[in-house]
Structure formats: C-alpha cells, structure tokens
Amino acid sequence: MGQMTVVPKSVRMNIYVITFIIVVHWVSCGWILINPIGAEDQTSYYIKAIYWTVTTLTTIGYGDITPTNNIGRLYTMVIMILGVGVYGIVIGNVTRMMAAGDRHKEMARERISDLQAFMRYYNIPERLQQNVSSYYQHLITKRLTDNDNKIISDLPQALQQELQIYMNIKLIRNIPIFKDCSQQCLKDVAGSLKQRYFGPGQTIINIGEVGQEMYIIGHGIVEVILKDGNTVATLHENQFFGEGALVRETKRNANVRAQSYCDLYRLEKEDFDEIIARHPELLESIERVANKRSSDRRAPRTPAPQKS
C-alpha cells in the first residue's frame, strides 16, 4: 500500500510558483518561435515575450503587443483560453490553501466565543472564566486542535499509542533535563508518561511520603510549599517537580499543590529505572537538577528587610 503524504503549505506554494514560471517560459518561447526576433537584442525580446505571456495569461491584455499573422492570432487565442483556466485554478488553490491554514485556529476562536457567551449567561464566576480562557489559549498555542485525541481515535490502539508518543515528545523536547537525550531516549520517556488532571487547591505531592514519581507540567500552575507553610517556588508549564524521588529513596520534603487547573504528565520510578538502564545520560541530567534544587533549599534565606 502506498504511503499517504501530506505536503506542507510552503512546499505547495513553491510548487505553484515554479510551475507558473515554467509555463510562462515555454509559452514565451512559443511566441518567439511564431514571431522571430527582429532588430532587438535577444534579452530584450525574451523579456518582451514574457511580458506578452504574463499579460495574456492573467487576462489583462494591454494590447501594446499584438499578433501580426494568422498563426500568431490562433496561438494567442489558445493562450487566452488557457490563461482563464490556469488563472482560476491557481487563485482557487492558493485561496483554499490559505484558508485551510487558519481553519483550526478559527474553530478554536469560535469555541471560545461560544464559551464566553455561555459563561455570561449562567453568571460563571470571574475566576472560573479566566481558567477556561487560559486553557483554550493553551490549546491554540500548544496543540494543532482542541481535539487531538479525537483525530486519532479511529486508528488501531497500537497506532494511537505510537502517535501519542510523538505528541508527548513535543511536550518534553525543550525541557532542560531532556535536552541532551537521544531521540530513542525521548521516545522511551514519552511512551511512559501518564496524563493526570488536578483542580485548584488539590494536593499533588504530600510532604513526608516516599515518592515514586515525578511530574511534568503541560498546562497550569503549581506551588511548592514547605512544612512551615512558606511557598518556595511557583512552577508553570514546561517545568517539572518531584524528580528527587526518581534518583534516591527519600521522603518528600515539600507539599506541591495545584494553584489552577493543571494538566500534568507523570513519570513513575519503575518506568524511569528501566529507561536509565538503557539511557544513563538521563540519570546524570536528573541528578544534576535534583542536587541543585536540594542545595538551593538548604541554603539559608536572607530575611526580608523590615519596613521602618
């Protein structure tokens, strides 16, 4: 079975431009063949032929260059008819291609508009409205559409899983601890991630428990809170936490709580141990981060100056 190929918009645009240039060149050569060069030099006459071809194909036809014999008139009529068809096909394809490029974003904007009307009608609290709007902005900027999973839902389970791996690779590729990883390492990590959702105020990690997983933030904000109640960090999308549990058997030294609606991806220790057996560079990267964060937390904090 042949492979289905989706040609990128930029490539298709280049194909249209190159095809048009080739057509213009050969039509111009035909005009030169019917109307031999006179006193003009070859370059000027070739440019003149191109000028005639473009004005005829685009149906502009200024009339300053006209055929002088029957063969020329017949050739011109053929090019006129060809020009009408080609002009319509090219304009139609370019217009459709440009419209298709914005289709998903336009659908997302319409969905946001409908949601805003819905929330105004039911008097939804402002805080919840902001969370909904933030989530949809996340979909517009970070995903192709708001139903990526539905797009692949009709495929066999094995294909869905493999496509999901590449969706997760896009999520983790630019996170510092994975930057030095090979493509195979990224695939192994992405295939082990499990998606989890948390609401505002919900505890994700409890202080004192033995950790068995780390989390990557796909969307949302979490806060790291010490035993004394002080918030020591606020983490956003494309950041991570809980990595210490993967490299050493220690108890959690802070609570982590969702500050907004969060879309998180969990990597469990059992999967991590299998991955680092094949890709030890990942262990080195996470150890560096975990050690740095531990030393930062142990470092004495300078008290804030008292206001007079």
What confidence score (pLDDT) does residue 200 get?
A: 87
What confidence score (pLDDT) does residue 2 get?
A: 44
Name the pLDDT band for 4 (thresholds 50, 70, 90): very low
Structure tokens at 162: 């493999």
pLDDT tens digits along 43-54: 888 998 999 988
Contact call for residues 246 and 269 (beta carbons, < 8 A): yes
What confidence score (pLDDT) does residue 308 get?
A: 39
Q: What percent of the chain has pLDDT over 70?
A: 85
Task: Please give the average per-residue pLDDT across 197-215, as a whole number.
Answer: 90
Give residue 38's identity as a one-letter amino acid code: G
Rounded to a whole number of angstroms, the distance between the first and last alpha carbons of the chain is 79
Domain boundaries, the chain: 9-101, 103-146, 177-297
| pLDDT above 50: residue 307 | no
CATH top class, domain 177-297: mainly beta
Q: Name the strand (E) or helix (H) holding 81.
A: helix 70-101
Contact call for residues 8 and 96 (beta carbons, < 8 A): no
User: What predicted TM-score, i.e. pTM, was given to this entire model?
Assistant: 0.60
What confidence score (pLDDT) does residue 202 get?
A: 92
pLDDT tens digits along 241-280: 988 877 877 788 899 999 988 989 999 999 999 999 999 9
| pLDDT above 50: residue 66 | yes
What does the alpha-carbon distance between residue 139 and residue 131 come to, in Å, rounded to a whole number? 13
What CA–CA distances, in Å, run from 161 to 19, 289, 298? 40, 30, 41
Give residue 179's identity as a one-letter amino acid code: K
The DSSP output letter for 251 is B
Closest to 75 measured CA to CA, from 84, 85, 66: 66
3-state helix, strand, coil in the chain (%, to 5): 55, 15, 30
What does the alpha-carbon distance between residue 264 and residue 199 come to, in Å, rounded to a whole number? 11
Given 1.10.510.10, 1.25.40.80, 1.20.1560.10, 1.10.287.70, which CATH number is that of 9-101?
1.10.287.70
| pLDDT above 60: residue 145 | no
Q: For all residues of the chain together, what is the average pLDDT?
A: 82
